[in-house]
Structure 1
């Protein structure tokens, strides 16, 4: 570990899995969770890694040149970070996940996107003449294992040891060798989706006269099921859904006023579960996509309000979303909510100087952060990460707090 890193301290409750990382204010930025570790960007292009369970400090990298930590990928044997990225070129630096030492560096190339597939890093292009190029790189050594080229790569999804591509048709490649495993004709223009729940399947969301979800086995490409959605979903909400629990599809979008939740697993036609909307007198619309946590839907509006609705509408009946007052039982209030994240049971809201935890449509806690905006990051089923700054502005903290109470180590 480098000797000239910023002053860092970790405080933890023994046995509780709650911890806080402290650093001088202005030297620490938003965390990225990957591979059982929490990666925190620091000033001067450094990245620090902590054990997600205990908060133990694992390593701090040397300064990297213009890194993009939010796009890092954790492969077996390396943490790969994009560096010196611009519109058409990108470099990559691979760090040892145990020590943070540099394993290899790749100069700027037209392959600007990356994904981890076990011991392999998959790189591909997305612009100009290089938007169909793809390569597999050994995560530990940086050696190029294979290269291929298509007319265009519209979408890519890693599924275990396989890479599934939308190149007009759907194709699967062995991530280690580049060998083509199967090819299946796609139903049209769409996007590849992966269910939240563990599954050996990939979902292709196709737009045609109706919205269609085609569930395919990743091993063979065989279509397991095909679910059609009502025409109004296409006409009014033309975007890809979020897949919830591998059984439900959640449609929402910025500038819209309605959310639609459908059951699709094992159905030829989707079953409407809920279709809540904002009342017209609200004079507002959604500012970002809605989220699902437990049996509740949550959404933020342009008027800086949080709304919620249940997920089990009667026969898919429409109902109005209800505002959530962001005042905790202890009287603390979050004002101007601007960011929203969801864990399995909780929604987390960041706003002007505070962060809040919401469960079952009720605010459980509000914690001051002294930050104008900070995105909470769910960690597992029962914890959440968020940042704060002390009132005197001298110290910054990254807190791993209890999702249900907001309790953290000071």
Structure 2
């Protein structure tokens, strides 16, 4: 590989022959990059320098590395309902321990403990705690079914026939109280991962005749506040909301192409902020879940998978955002990725950045797998192919301008 870096602006580009670089993942402040032959590289996010490269791993799931203190745990040989794990030293990349494949196929970090569980329909709800540094089994338990799991500091909060909390280190049940669906907070990269959530509290959604979103204390399960939602307004939505920053809750129904946005923080009754229905053609749906960046909601919908945007409080309704590639082609079948301040789009040949409902820039990549990966609020990772097609590159580019090193 070759590295071209601008330390002052924290921009860099890695170059390698085709087939060497995989799709990057940002976790725990480090860029993890799959390399040919099942290897994993850790890359400094500011300088693009390769910190280490692991030995070959057996069928690694490089989309889901889990940093846990001194190690990063990588799922391997993943299949339906079964998975193995390898723990790599976070500083050197050497293997600390391995766990053979089992039906504990879901994973989350809780302090110095790795929490493993399953949630498939054909398996019982098994759960276990493993020491992240040694791989030693600390405890295990089994429930009729684990519907959802959240981590809050050293606590594991389950929806397992009712809400209950376990100590992540010992497996001891700390409390059992109430019912509902515990929800990941805003900024959570994956269900069960903490993200920017407050470890002291969590949210629970209750559907039914009186839909309610409640805020509860993680250490006791006590309800601290509750917000009621209008049942009639939610009659088209079957699932729980997605929690967004700014105390907002987003409901979306793909096939009906509907969405509603409410404010809930500190309110006894939720206040509607936005109600939209996109692309009214029959037999169409959202191509992917709607995303919200700041005060703007974006969806990909319609017969041609066009990008629509709507601003909260604007009252003008959704409008289509045409995205044109550098060669004049209109972007088709785009995939949307939300960053802290930008929406990034990719159709396999072009990447683009959108802010406040306006396209800021587009760049040609000429690579099918060119999905952008936000790196903080000011940078974005995306690959491209050289003009001679003998070199692939991973760019850490400026999110606002698209400037990249070549």
Q: TM-score, normalised by structure 1?
A: 0.91
1:248 aligns with 2:239: no
Q: Which moved more, 1:100-109 or 1:191-200?
A: 191-200
Q: 1:351 aligns with which of 347, 358, 367?
A: 347
Q: Contact 1:291–1:299 at 8 Å: present in 2 too?
A: yes
Secondary structure of the residue that 2:235 maps to in structure 1?
helix
Q: Is the 8 A contact 1:215 1:224 kept in 2?
A: yes
Quick check: 1:385 aligned with 2:400? Answer: no
SS in 1 for 2:37: helix
Helix, strand or coil for the counterpart of 1:259? strand
* 1:199-214 map, 5 Å: 199=198, 200-214=200-214
Deviations 1:322-349 (A, max 9, x none): 0002138x78655114210111221100
After superposition, residues 238-387 of structure 1 pair within 5 angstroms as 238-278=238-278, 280=280, 284-302=284-302, 303-313=304-314, 319-327=316-324, 335-387=331-383
Are the equivalent residues in 2 in contact too, given 1:335–1:352 (CA < 8 A)?
no
What is the SS of the residue equivalent to 1:221? Answer: coil
Go from structure 1 to structure 2 and tell me whether the alpha carbon gap of 1:249 and 1:186 turns closer, same or farther (over 3 Å shift): same
Q: What is the SS of the residue equivalent to 1:335? A: coil
395-404 vs 359-368, which deviates more?
A: 395-404
Give the whole-Å Cα distance in 2 for the aligned partners of 1:273 and 1:342: 20
**TM-superposition CA deviations, 1:201-239 (whole Å, max 9, x none):** 211122212432121111221112222222245421212
| Cα distance change, pair 77–19 in 1 and its aligned pair in 2 (3 A) | same
- 156, 176, 180: which one aligns with 1:163: 156
Contact in 2 for aligned 1:337/1:349 (Cα 8 Å): no
Please give the TM-score of this superposition, normalised by the length of structure 2: 0.92
5 Å-filtered alignment, 1:79-94, equals: 79-94=72-87
Task: State whether residues 249 and 263 of structure 2, in contact with CA within 8 Å, keep that contact through their aligned partners in structure 1.
Answer: yes
1:246-278 deviation per Cα after TM superposition (whole angstroms, max 9, x unaligned): 500112243232221100111122100011222
Runs of 4+ in 1 over 6 A off after TM superposition: none
Task: State the SS of the aligned residue for 1:44.
Answer: helix
Asked whether the equivalents of residues 229 and 270 of structure 2 are also in contact (C-alpha less than 8 Å), the reply is yes
Contact 2:382 2:394 (8 Å CA) reproduced:
yes
Deviations 1:341-363 (A, max 9, x none): 11122110011411000011111
Report the more deviating stretch, 174-183 or 338-347.
174-183
Question: C-alpha distance in 1, partners of 2:121/2:359?
Answer: 48
Contact kept, 8 Å, 1:35 with 1:74, in 2: the verdict is yes
Alpha-carbon distance between aligned partners in 1 of 2:211 and 2:10, rounded to the nearest angstrom: 43
Q: Please report how far the alpha carbon of residue 49 of structure 1 lies from its aligned counterpart in structure 2 after TM superposition.
A: 0.9
How many residues end up aligned between the 2 structures?
396
Deviation, 1:60, is 0.8
Q: Does 1:398 align with 2:394?
A: yes
Shift of 1:179: 2.1
Distance 1:16 1:289, change over 3 A: same
The runs of 5 or more residues in structure 2 that have no matched partner are 188-195
Separation of aligned partners in 2, 1:334 and 1:120: 48
Please, which runs of 5 or more residues in structure 1 have no aligned partner? 1-7
The separation in 1 between residues aligned to 2:88 and 2:101, in whole angstroms, is 17
**1:227 and 2:227 matched:** yes
